[in-house]
């Protein structure tokens, strides 16, 4: 039943508490290189109200920030009901990271094998030679691109024999069937060269002046070698880019996931709500909407269906109840920017309660309040929190607000060496 804070490192006081709801274990938070919280141990049983006093305002705020995930702890852990306030590694995460990796890999591979030429080889070439577009022909053309085979293309009535990516024109023929035959011969020579030494085929072409035609060998040794290496080159490019992209994508998404594990929304879904010292209400929403947005999130999170359906009339009724309970019902449709500090604090409490949390962290509720308002706020908190809710509030000094708490934890001022 006792809860106690200790700033003494190396000698944490382990306290008996049957099933603490919130347990903080050797928590250290550093600001720069200096610790603001040093090896703090704190166990809060369910339904208890704890006031954290002492030390500086920064230390107290850092404690609440570390609990709700706004600030990452240097070491130590925060557990709610025995579970760490961190997102678990699930099957969904695994598949998400894997898919991102593969997708990035494919994008890199597409860039490396030149998607523009690929489109030319698969779509445009089929159109010029008037082949039908079926899965078979598209597949065939796709395969022939990745094997760097020779292809036939048309330019202004001439049939050209080109490399798969269309970068190099090897021969031009007027007749399609003639071009096909030549292409097959050349392809056979290239394939033979790819496997073994092959032979240089005796394919010649007429070039030069019409009066003085010369016969020229179409495939000399260097060309043949270059064409034979084409398959290896494109495969190497594609696979290396894919592998690079895969690892890049996996690394990136892993890092992003790792950094997003300990976000405030994770703590909030587990049931930790907090308010701020300077109230952070949504100024351009009405009071009603300020609370409604939190109610909806709470309902949505508990909804079992994958589409996350929400019951609108329930949300509205619950919001009305909450707004009434903090005493803002008469002005529920004015913008929050028009509220006073006290009213903002009430609104923040209502918003925190809206997600039906198990722990409510209230940061310096007495700050900027006159004694009367502090009393009102203490009454309000006692009323709305009831017996079930666990409350952790911080305060600079003892006052009406710390009196409603069962325990007071004093953070001893930290000695800076």
Residues within the interface to another protein (CB under 8 A): 68, 70, 103, 115-117, 119-120, 123-124, 126-127, 133, 252, 256, 259-260, 263-265, 267-269, 273-274, 276, 280-285, 289, 292-294, 296-298, 300-301, 307-313, 335-338, 351-352, 354-355
318 neighbors 354 (Cβ within 8 angstroms): yes
Q: What is the DSSP string of 308-342?
A: ----HHHHHHHHHHHHHHTT-GGGTTSBGGG--HH
* CB of 23 or CB of 275, closer to another protein: 275
* CB of 56 or CB of 251, closer to another protein: 251
* CB of 12 or CB of 298, closer to another protein: 298
Q: Is the dihedral of CA 171, 174, 178, 179 positive or negative?
A: positive
Q: What is the DSSP string of 162-226?
A: E-TTS--EEEEESSHHHHHHHHHHHHHHHHHHHHS-------EEEES-SSS-EEEESS-HHHHHH
The 3-state DSSP class for residue 295 equals helix
Joined together, the tokens standing for residue 265 give 């929304």
Residues 236/237/238/243 CA torsion (nearest 10 deg)? 80
Instruction: In angstroms, give the least distance from the CB of 372 to another protein.
Output: 24
Instruction: In angstroms, give the least distance from the CB of 188 to another protein.
Output: 28
- The residues with which 152 forms a beta bridge, in sequence order, are 161
Instruction: In angstroms, give the least distance from the CB of 71 to another protein.
Output: 11
From CA 35, how far away is CA 53, in angstroms rounded? 18
394 neighbors 63 (Cβ within 8 angstroms): yes
Instruction: In angstroms, give the least distance from the CB of 306 to another protein.
Output: 12
Instruction: In angstroms, give the least distance from the CB of 49 to another protein.
Output: 20
Contacts of 156 (CB under 8 A, 6+ apart): none
Instruction: In angstroms, give the least distance from the CB of 348 to another protein.
Output: 8
CA 144 to mean position of chain CA atoms: 39
Instruction: In angstroms, give the least distance from the CB of 368 to another protein.
Output: 15
Instruction: In angstroms, give the least distance from the CB of 265 to another protein.
Output: 5
* CB of 52 or CB of 68, closer to another protein: 68
CA 70 to mean position of chain CA atoms: 17
* CB of 132 or CB of 197, closer to another protein: 132
149 neighbors 164 (Cβ within 8 angstroms): yes
DSSP 387: T
* CB of 314 or CB of 372, closer to another protein: 314
Instruction: In angstroms, give the least distance from the CB of 194 to another protein.
Output: 27
Instruction: In angstroms, give the least distance from the CB of 289 to another protein.
Output: 6
* CB of 102 or CB of 103, closer to another protein: 103
Contacts of 191 (CB under 8 A, 6+ apart): none
Nearest to 117 by CA among 64, 73, 157, 167: 167
From CA 63, how far away is CA 82, in angstroms rounded? 19
* CB of 70 or CB of 172, closer to another protein: 70
* CB of 96 or CB of 413, closer to another protein: 96
* CB of 38 or CB of 153, closer to another protein: 153
From CA 82, how far away is CA 104, in angstroms rounded? 38
Instruction: In angstroms, give the least distance from the CB of 378 to another protein.
Output: 23
| C-alpha distances out from residue 323 to 281, 288, 291, 316, 354, Å | 14, 7, 7, 11, 10
């Amino acid at each position: 039943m006792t809860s106690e804070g200790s700033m003494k490192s190396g000698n944490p006081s382990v306290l008996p508490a049957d099933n603490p709801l919130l347990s903080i274990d050797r928590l250290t938070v550093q600001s720069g290189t200096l610790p603001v919280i040093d090896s703090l141990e704190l166990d809060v049983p369910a339904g208890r109200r704890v006031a954290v006093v002492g030390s500086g305002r920064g230390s107290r705020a850092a404690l609440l920030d570390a609990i709700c995930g706004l600030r990452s702890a240097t070491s130590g852990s925060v557990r709610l009901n025995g579970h760490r306030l961190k997102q678990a590694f699930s099957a969904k995460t695994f598949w998400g990271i894997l898919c991102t990796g593969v997708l990035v890999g494919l994008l890199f591979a597409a860039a490396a094998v030149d998607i523009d030429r690929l489109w030319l080889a698969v779509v445009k070439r089929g159109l010029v030679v008037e082949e039908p577009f079926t899965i078979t022909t598209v597949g065939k053309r796709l395969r022939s691109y990745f094997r760097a085979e020779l292809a036939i293309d048309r330019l202004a009535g001439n049939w050209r024999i080109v490399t798969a990516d269309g970068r190099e024109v090897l021969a031009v023929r007027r007749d399609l069937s003639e071009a096909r035959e030549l292409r097959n011969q050349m392809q056979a020579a290239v394939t033979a060269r790819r496997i073994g030494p092959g032979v240089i085929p005796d394919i010649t072409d007429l070039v030069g002046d019409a009066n003085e035609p010369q016969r020229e060998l179409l495939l000399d040794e260097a060309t043949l070698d270059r064409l034979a290496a084409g398959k290896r080159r494109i495969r190497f490019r594609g696979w290396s880019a894919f592998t690079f992209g895969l690892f890049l994508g996996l690394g990136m998404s892993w890092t992003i996931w790792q950094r997003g594990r300990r976000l405030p929304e994770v703590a909030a879904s587990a049931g930790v709500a907090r308010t701020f010292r300077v109230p952070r209400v949504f100024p351009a929403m009405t009071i009603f909407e300020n609370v409604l947005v939190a109610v909806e999130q709470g309902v949505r999170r508990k909804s079992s269906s994958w589409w996350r359906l929400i019951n609108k009339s329930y949300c509205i009724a619950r919001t009305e109840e909450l707004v009434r309970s903090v005493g803002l019902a008469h002005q529920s449709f004015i913008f929050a920017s028009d509220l006073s500090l006290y009213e903002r604090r009430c609104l923040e409490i209502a918003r925190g309660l809206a997600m039906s949390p198990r722990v409510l962290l209230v940061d310096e509720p007495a700050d900027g309040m006159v004694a009367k308002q502090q009393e009102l706020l203490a009454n309000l908190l006692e009323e709305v929190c009831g017996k079930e809710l666990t409350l952790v509030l911080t305060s600079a000094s003892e006052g009406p607000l710390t009196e409603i708490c069962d325990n007071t934890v004093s953070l001893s001022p930290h000695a800076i060496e």
